Amino acid sequence: MAAADPAATVAPAMRCLYVDLDGTLLGPGGSLLHGADGRFALDGVRALQACWRAGVEVVLYSGRRQSSVFEDSRMIGSSSYIFELGCGLVIDGELEWLTDGVVPSDTSGTIHEQIERSGAPALLLDRFAGRLEYHTPWSIRREVSHLFRGAVDLDEVREVLDGAGLAWLRLVDNGVVRAASEQMEGVPVVHAYHLIPAGASKARAVARHMQGRGYTAADCIAAGDSREDMDAATVVSTFWLVANALERDPDLASEIAGRVGVRVASEPYGAGVYEAVVTTLATER
């Protein structure tokens, strides 16, 4: 009897990569083809190519609205994506809302409109005036989240929402914004925040996609640049924080300490994603 081929018994090191767009796969200005220094770079493309060669599915998970993530997914040849911070998941053209029953309808309108009618956005803008404002122009034409920029204490926000009977919503920190046009007078470090249904998250959407595909945690890694991205570490084998995340938000360093399954790439943006991919693929299971 012929001996078994050892290569045939080795499980692939990775079956899926979940990767954030802005500040991660995309370089400054949201460009796939520019690195940290603003020069032309192919690191992000090389990461995608390495995944394709190894048969690894790539799933974009982003705070961007659906139409934007759809176009980017189509551009890289991916049939699944996660949009508006995990509020929506698309697998092979099928959309699933992960918003705990808060869904769009002909009578209630979009989820964004339902959140608007709750009074929560106006409440937060009034309570945190000077520290919170709409993140224009990215806040327009959204289906779910109300997108703000500023600097607020999320525990204080939680108390405000709960006190107003709005516990079904939460404000999520999706990372630091750097563009000069997006800064606020008197706010030294400006974050992007999404107001979304409380049960929605990127980690939940990643777990749901894994369930749909039959992936285990050992099959998957994720890469991103924010606290919300990093929560994917609870459902995948390893989460990679790209180096530029710590440059923009040094406070992240203290949050990484002691977290299982979190690694910091030595490189920023697409180069950091490439590092995560090739490091993982080089590890046999």
pLDDT of residue 181: 66
The whole-number pLDDT of residue 84 equals: 97
Q: pLDDT, tens digit, for every residue of 64-105?
A: 999 999 999 999 999 999 999 999 999 999 999 999 999 999
Kindly tell me if the per-residue pLDDT of 140 is higher than 50.
yes
Do residues 31 and 39 lie in contact, with contact meaning Cβ atoms separated by under 8 Å? no
Using a 10 angstrom Cβ sphere, with 0-12 exposed, 13-18 middle and 19 or more buried, the burial of residue 241 is: buried
What phi, psi does 174 have (nearest 5°)?
Answer: -110, 30
pTM of the model: 0.91
CB 168 within 8 Å of CB 120? no
User: Which pLDDT value is given to residue 9?
Assistant: 52
Using the CB atoms, write b or e for 79-105: b if 16+ within 10 Å.
Answer: ebbbbbbbbbbbbeeeeebbbeebeee
pLDDT of residue 250: 80
CA distances from 227 to 67, 127, 231 (A): 24, 24, 7
- pLDDT for position 10: 59
pLDDT tens, 95-104? 999 999 999 9
CA distance 207 to 24: 20
- Does residue 280 carry a pLDDT above 90? yes
Q: Is the dihedral of CA 13, 17, 22, 27 positive or negative?
A: positive
What are the tens digits of pLDDT across the range 168-191? 999 999 888 877 667 788 888 899
Q: How does 24-55 read in b/e, with b if 16+ C-beta sit within 10 Å?
A: bbbbbeeebebbbeeeebebbebbbebbeebe
Containing H/E element for 240?
strand 238-241
d(CA 230, CA 239): 6
Local confidence band at 136 (pLDDT 50, 70, 90 cut-offs): very high
Catalogue all structural domains in the chain, each as residue range(s) with its CATH number.
Answer: 13-98+201-281 (3.40.50.1000), 111-197 (3.90.1070)
| Helices and strands (DSSP H and E) totals, the chain | 10, 12
